[in-house]
Amino acid sequence: MEQEEMRDKKAQKKDQGFFGNMSVTQKALLIIFGVAIFFLVWTFVFGGITNFYQLIAFAISFIAIAVLFYFIAFFVSWYLAPDYYSPKKDYFNRLVNLAKDLKPTNVRDLYFRGDKDKKRVKAGTIVGLISIPYLVGKQKKHQIDIKDPKDDTKFLAKKGEPVLEYSTVLKRKIPVYDGIEYGQDGDTFFIYESGWFFLKKQHYLRCHKTLHGDLNGDVEVYDINPVPYGSLYEYPFKQLQREPERIMIQNQLEVILATSEHQLDLISQGVDSAVYFNPYFRLMHKQASESVQQWLMK
């Protein structure tokens, strides 16, 4: 099967022809080279280049212009090339846009302070700010009272108590979860800029709400410095040191939910396309539209 697919792909490439298999940059260079050759022949036939030195000067100028156009075409094709879709990056971009759009006007700069007695260090200017609640497990609870079969006066579990199951790994009973929900705890998402003019750089800090001061004026983070986590976020050193497992699980849950939403969108689009291109559906849709038009014209 794989060999047949490879042969089909090669056959499709051959069917496209020489010009069809070229990239945008190669096509642009081929067109520029063709125009230059045409101009060169035209000038030899009808005048313009009269000696060998002018021909050398023209060739050097053409090579320089061709190289310049090559780099311009390469940069444009690289800049406009479509990036692969990432649910994680899509969720992150939505957080960034919300943080910038909804930033309170009463916050200014972000500072790091390890101890209250030490001098604080300015990290940058706050340009985005929102709160992100934690996703926590929803515990499964007993719906009725469970009595001890050996003694009716005793209860093994009462209504409303969490369901516990024995874990062979942990060698103890642990709560059973049947879903996830947003809890009361969470992080504050700061976007702050450091540097000047075109050298400015944006940082994306997720800080637990107990590790920073009031969100008014200059905001202080009670830590010495941020530490990068993954490819997107930064966390205060203390938070990453104390709760690495919680940070990892929280990021994974957010990516799982974003991926699930994206898959549901793809399924919905696929179903819509399949239904719309169904001949029977299109016939019924056309008949219904005609019936409505006739009813309106009465």
Which of the four pLDDT bands, split at 50, 70 and 90, describes residue 285?
A: low
Task: Measure CA of the first residue to CA of the last residue in the chain; give whole Å.
Answer: 60
Last residue of a domain, which of 80, 97, 126?
A: 80
Mean pLDDT check: name the lowest of 27-31, 41-45, 95-99, 133-137.
Answer: 41-45
Verify that 196 and 120 share a domain, yes or no: yes
Q: Which domain holds residue 223?
A: 89-134+188-298
Q: Give me the residue label for tokens 């010495």.
A: 224
Amino acid identity, residue 102? Answer: L
166 part of a folded domain? no
88-129 confidence digits (pLDDT tens): 888 899 999 999 999 999 999 999 987 767 788 999 999 999
Q: Where are the beta strands (DSSP E) in 113-260?
A: 121-139, 146-148, 151-157, 164-167, 172-175, 177-194, 201-208, 217-221, 226-229, 233-236
Verify that 37 and 129 share a domain, yes or no: no
Between 211 and 174, the higher pLDDT residue: 211
Q: 229: closest CA among 249, 212, 211, 214?
A: 249
Cβ proximity of 154 and 148 under 8 Å: yes
- Average pLDDT over the chain reads 77
State both tokens at 10: 């090669």
Region 137-158: mean pLDDT is 77
111 part of a folded domain? yes
Q: Which helix (H) or strand (E) holds 16?
A: helix 2-20
Verify that 15 and 99 share a domain, yes or no: no
25 part of a folded domain? yes
Domain count for the chain: 2
Verify that 109 and 72 share a domain, yes or no: no
189-214 confidence digits (pLDDT tens): 999 999 887 788 999 999 999 999 99
Strands 226-229 and 146-148, sheet pairing: unpaired
